[in-house]
Amino acid sequence: NSHIPVITIDGPTASGKGTVAHKVAERLGFHVLDSGALYRLTALAALRRGTELSDEHALAKIAERLPAKFVGGEIFLGTENVGHALRAEEVGNAASKIAALPAVRQALYGLQLAFREAPGLVADGRDMGTVIFPGAKLKIFLTASVAARAERRYKQLIGKGFPANMEGLLADLHSRDERDMNRAVAPLKPAEGAHILDTSDMTADQAVEAVLEWYRHA
Ligand code: CDP
Ligand code: CDP
């Protein structure tokens, strides 16, 4: 399936990857891979079982056997719809911790490749362009200032009924950026050939148009 076009969208937390990926996919009629959800699902399952977030072997087993299903924008763990539970900051932070473990990343590798289906795929995460789909037709590194990203995450959490305070969010954002950029395996960085898109002063729709314009010329 290496001929099927892939657009990768990598970037730091709350830069708008998920939002832009879904809108671009909708416009092109492509599939979506929310790779962060796989790390979040593994983290959620581990938190519920009380697995130590440093127990690489046990976490890789959980990732390998993840009973995850993606059904029209909803995410299921077994029969439970966990779309909402996955968005909690606690789960995002735990996901970022376990994502630094090589065996966990290895366990999720094949699962991610399987999302490449005709007519095309938009994949968002941290290492879509660098590790998972290095041959992607178009690679985007989506970013925004820390202030813009904290503001977006704040509004998003409040809108979904989660508690949020700006100070805590800023602290989370910094520690997550730090961890994601400085880990030994698949650190967050622009892929070779990636277009860098700073959306600090852009709406999500403007970012979508920019990506589609690059895709037309890719
Ligand atoms: O996936 P990622 O964590 O990068 O971001 P997201 O979950 O898509 O969340 C970004 C939030 O900021 C959403 O509520 C978007 O509506 C909003 N937003 C955006 O995505 N892009 C902009 N240029 C401006 C706002
Ligand atoms: O929405 P947000 O950007 O905050 O997070 P996410 O994309 O759902 O990812 C949660 C965590 O999973 C990130 O902080 C990363 O540590 C990890 N992750 C990763 O390592 N590689 C990916 N391709 C996607 C996510």
Give the pLDDT confidence of 22-70 residue by residue, as tens digits.
999 999 999 999 999 999 999 999 999 999 999 999 999 999 999 999 9
pLDDT of 104-133, one tens digit each? Answer: 999 999 999 999 999 999 999 999 999 999
**199 C-beta closer than 6 A to ligand 1:** yes
- Amino acid in position 147: A
CB atoms within 10 A of CB 81: 13
**40 C-beta closer than 6 A to ligand 2:** yes
Ligand 2 center to 123 CA (angstroms)? 12
Structure tokens at 167: 């100070």
For the chain, percent of residues with pLDDT exceeding 70: 100
For the chain, percent of residues with pLDDT exceeding 90: 94
pTM across the whole model: 0.96
Determine whether the annotation assigns residue 145 to a binding site: no
CB atoms within 10 A of CB 196: 11
pLDDT of 179-200, one tens digit each? Answer: 999 999 999 999 999 999 999 9
Ligand 2 center to 99 CA (angstroms)? 8
Task: Supply the residue whose CA is at minimum distance from atom 12 of ligand 1.
Answer: 152
Query: Is residue 212 classed exposed, middle or buried when 0-12, 13-18 and 19+ CB atoms within 10 A define those classes?
Result: middle
**17 C-beta closer than 6 A to ligand 1:** yes
